[in-house]
Chain A
Amino acid sequence: MYSIVADQLTKQFGTFTAVDHISFQVKRGEIFGFLGANGAGKTTAIKMMSGLLLPTSGTATIAGYDILTQSKLIKKHIGYMSQRFSLYNDLTVFENMQLFGTIYKIPRKELKDRIYESLRSLDMEKQSGTLVSSIPLGWKQKLAFATAILHHPDIVFLDEPTSGVDPIVRREFWKLIYQTASQGVTILVTTHYMDEAEYCNRISIMSDGQMKLIGTPSELKEQMGVNSVDEVFVKFVNR
Chain B
Amino acid sequence: MRTILILIKKEFLQVFRNPLLISILVVAPLVQFVIFPFCADYEIKMLDIAFIDNDRSSISKDIINTFNSSGYFIPHGVLQSQSEAEEMMRHDKIDILIEIPARFEHDLYTGQPTQISSTANAINTVKAGIGTGYVQEVIGDYMRQFSERNKLPDQFGARNAEIKLSNVYWYNEQMNYKNLIVPGILVILVTLIGCYVTALNLVREKEIGTIEQVNVTPIRRWQFLIGKMIPFWILGMTEFIAGLFIMKIVFGITVQGSIPMLLGVTAIYLLVMLGLGFFISSVAENQLQAMFIVLFLFIVFVLLSGLFTPTEGMPDWAHKINYFNPMSFFMEVIKKVVLKGGDFLSVQKETIVLSVMAVVINTGAILSYRESSK
Query: What residues make up the interface of A, taking CB atoms closer than 8 Å to B?
Result: 50-54, 71-72, 75-76, 78, 80, 82, 84-91, 95, 98-100, 102-105, 108, 131
Task: Check B10 against A88 for contact (C-beta < 8 Å).
Answer: yes
Q: What would be 27 A-B contacts, judged by CB atoms less than 8 Å apart?
A: A51-B372, A52-B212, A52-B371, A52-B372, A72-B218, A75-B217, A76-B218, A78-B216, A80-B216, A82-B209, A82-B212, A86-B208, A86-B209, A86-B213, A87-B210, A88-B210, A90-B18, A91-B10, A91-B13, A98-B6, A100-B213, A102-B3, A103-B3, A103-B214, A103-B218, A103-B219, A131-B17
Given the known inter-chain contacts A86-B210, A87-B213, A103-B3, please indicate yes or no for A53 contacting B372, CB distance below 8 A.
Answer: yes
Report the nearest A residue to B10, measured CB to CB. Answer: A99
Task: Check B210 against A53 for contact (C-beta < 8 Å).
Answer: no
Q: Measured between C-beta atoms, what is the minimum distance from B244 to chain A in Å?
A: 31
**In this assembly, does B215 line the interface, its C-beta being within 8 Å of a C-beta of chain A?**
yes
Given the known inter-chain contacts A52-B373, A84-B209, please indicate yes or no for A75 contacting B14, CB distance below 8 A.
Answer: no
Q: Measured between C-beta atoms, what is the minimum distance from B7 to chain A in Å?
A: 8
**Which residues of B sit under 8 angstroms from A87, Cβ to Cβ?**
210, 213
Q: Measured between C-beta atoms, what is the minimum distance from A28 to chain B in Å?
A: 20
Q: Which of A82, A85, A88, A103 contacts B6 (CB 8 A)?
A: A103
A-B pairs, top 5 by smallest CB distance, nearest first, are A80-B216, A86-B209, A102-B6, A86-B213, A75-B218
Distance between Cα atoms of A78 and B10 in the complex (Å)? 23
Q: Which of B3, B7, B216, B374 contacts A51 (CB 8 A)?
A: B216
Task: Check A88 against B218 for contact (C-beta < 8 Å).
Answer: no
Q: Measured between C-beta atoms, what is the minimum distance from B212 to chain A in Å?
A: 5
Task: Check B10 against A100 for contact (C-beta < 8 Å).
Answer: no
Task: Check A90 against B13 for contact (C-beta < 8 Å).
Answer: yes
Report the nearest B residue to A107, measured CB to CB. Answer: B2
The number of residues on chain B lying at the interface, defined by a beta carbon within 8 Å of a beta carbon of chain A, is 24
Distance between Cα atoms of A99 and B10 in the complex (Å)? 7
Q: Measured between C-beta atoms, what is the minimum distance from B223 to chain A in Å?
A: 9
**Which residues of A sit under 8 angstroms from B18, Cβ to Cβ?**
90
Distance between Cα atoms of A84 and B210 in the complex (Å)? 9
Distance between Cα atoms of A85 and B210 in the complex (Å)? 8
Residue from A84, A99, A100, A104 having most chain B Cβ neighbours under 10 A: A99
**Which residues of B sit under 8 angstroms from A53, Cβ to Cβ?**
372-373
Q: A80-B216, A88-B10, A95-B10 are in contact. List 11 more A-B contacts (CB 8 A).
A: A50-B216, A51-B372, A52-B372, A54-B373, A84-B212, A86-B210, A86-B213, A91-B13, A103-B6, A103-B218, A108-B2
Q: Measured between C-beta atoms, what is the minimum distance from B225 to chain A in Å?
A: 14
Q: Which B residues from 196 to 249 make CB contacts under 8 A with A?
A: 208-210, 212-219
